[in-house]
Structures are given as structure tokens and as C-alpha cells.
Amino acid sequence: MCGDIFLKDIKSVTMGKAGLANVMKITSWGEVVYKDIFLTWMEHEEKFVMKFKKFIHVMQEQFGITENDDKDDRMPAKKMDGNLASHFLEGIKWNSAYCEAGNPVVPQSSKKYQRAKLYFGIPEEDEIFLIYDSTVFGNCKKGFALCTSGFYYCLSNSGNISWDKFALVKISKCISGLQIDKKEFTVETGVRNNLLTVLERIQNYLD
């Protein structure tokens, strides 16, 4: 989509790929994805996108813009908090450089925290309870995270599944690791069963 983008219409900002170039992707409240903004040759691309996301978040708070604006009253969206996260992660030991589970929250000081926020398109206000980094070099450009408002991920592009919809998602093992909602995530064999257990616990709770 081309044309002007009004600040009040912006719901989320994420970073992704278009061919070999890094781009900034802007999504409206009506789930319209605007034309990619190319960041080629820009210095400190990640910092720029992160600061722009924070600016949008502050602007939304300042003017009271929320996802429920101009919509009918409805039941509040399902959320995950620290108590629920602790319940889902209970009894599971993690021995992986790629998986970071919070206690119950992944701290902002974590090396993966800011990268997951950026590449997975996680809202500024969401807490993160678990991050799985599917990249070889640990840059968190691919993988998924369990957050306050839903399951956030990045493969070729970022996306999310709200907890309201997650109960209906099909989850299974596959050759590369795990298939979640027809999306294949590379997951190391030693931690795959643990992740599957956590995701199934969440689905059983939501069902």
C-alpha cells in the first residue's frame, strides 16, 4: 500500500527482509500492511526501528489509542501473566543455548530480549516468558516467544497468534523441529520435547 501513513493508524512496527535488504514493516489497526520501508545503507538499523517502535508506543499511550477503539464491546483478550507462565514451565529443565525461559519473566538485560522484541514484533508493553532462537549464530532473527498477549515469531517475516486463537492451532514434531500452525521452526532435538510439553500445557489450559 502506498501513500501517507497517519501516526494514529499505526498499530505495530516490525523489522523484516525483502530480498537481501532489511526493511521496516508498518501494520495498521485494520491489519493493512503498508509498503515496506527500506533501511539499506542506514547506520544502526536495529536501533532506529527500536526507537521508532517506542515512539509509536508512547504516542498511543499519550492519545489513548487501543486495539478496541471503534469496535463493539467484547470479552477482554486472553493474557498470560507470571503465575500462568510459572505453571506452564513448572518442572522443566532447560539445557540449551538457544532457549531462554524466564523465572517467570525473561529480563530486559538478556541478550536475546531486545532482539526478540524487534524481530518478532512483540509489543512494547508485553512481558516475555520464553524465547526460542532458531538461528545458528544466536541473533534471534528467527524463532518464537511466549508473551503476555500471545505467541510471537519470525521466520521470513514476523507474525503472532493471540492466546484467544492459540488453542485451535495444530502443533506437531517435524523433521526440522516443531511445526506450529503450519509453520516449521528449527528446534534442537534435546529441547524439542520440552517445548512441545509447554505448548500443549498452554493449549489444554486455553481449551
Residue 100 covered by a domain? yes
> Does 201 lie in the same domain as 139?
yes
Domain that holds residue 11: 7-63
Q: Residues 108, 188: one domain? A: yes
Residues forming a β-bridge with 162 = 150
Q: Rounded to two decimals, what is the model's pTM?
A: 0.70
Q: Round to whole Å and give the CA distance between 200 and 180.
A: 11
**All 3 cell numbers of residue 64?**
489513548
Alpha helices in 78-181, H assignment, sequence order: 82-89, 111-120, 163-166
Return the residue matching grid coordinates 516490525: 14
Tell me: do 47 and 121 sit in the same domain: no
The reply to whether 135 and 194 lie within a common domain is yes
Q: Which amino acid is residue 56, in one-letter code?
A: I
pLDDT at 73: 43
The torsion of the CA quartet 156, 40, 109, 67, rounded to 10 degrees, works out to -60
87 and 175 inside one domain? yes
92 in the same domain as 50: no
Same domain, 95 and 57: no
Query: Looking at the domain assignment, is residue 97 inside a domain?
Result: yes
CA angle 197, 201, 207 (to 5 degrees): 140
The per-residue pLDDT for 32 is: 75
Q: Do residue 90 and residue 125 come from a single domain?
A: yes
Tally of domains within the chain: 2
Residue ranges of the chain with per-residue pLDDT less than 50: 1-2, 69-74
Q: Which long-range contacts (CB under 8 A, 24 or more apart) does 45-48 make?
A: 45/15, 46/15, 46/115, 46/118
Do the domain assignments include residue 15? yes
1 falls within a domain:
no
Is 173 in the same domain as 125?
yes
Contacts of 181 (CB under 8 A, 6+ apart): 161, 169, 170, 171
- Do 107 and 15 lie in one domain? The reply is no
Let me know whether 123 and 42 are in one domain.
no
Domain closes at, from 63, 91, 107: 63
Does some domain include residue 48?
yes
Query: How high is the pLDDT of residue 105?
Result: 95
Q: What pLDDT does 66 receive?
A: 67
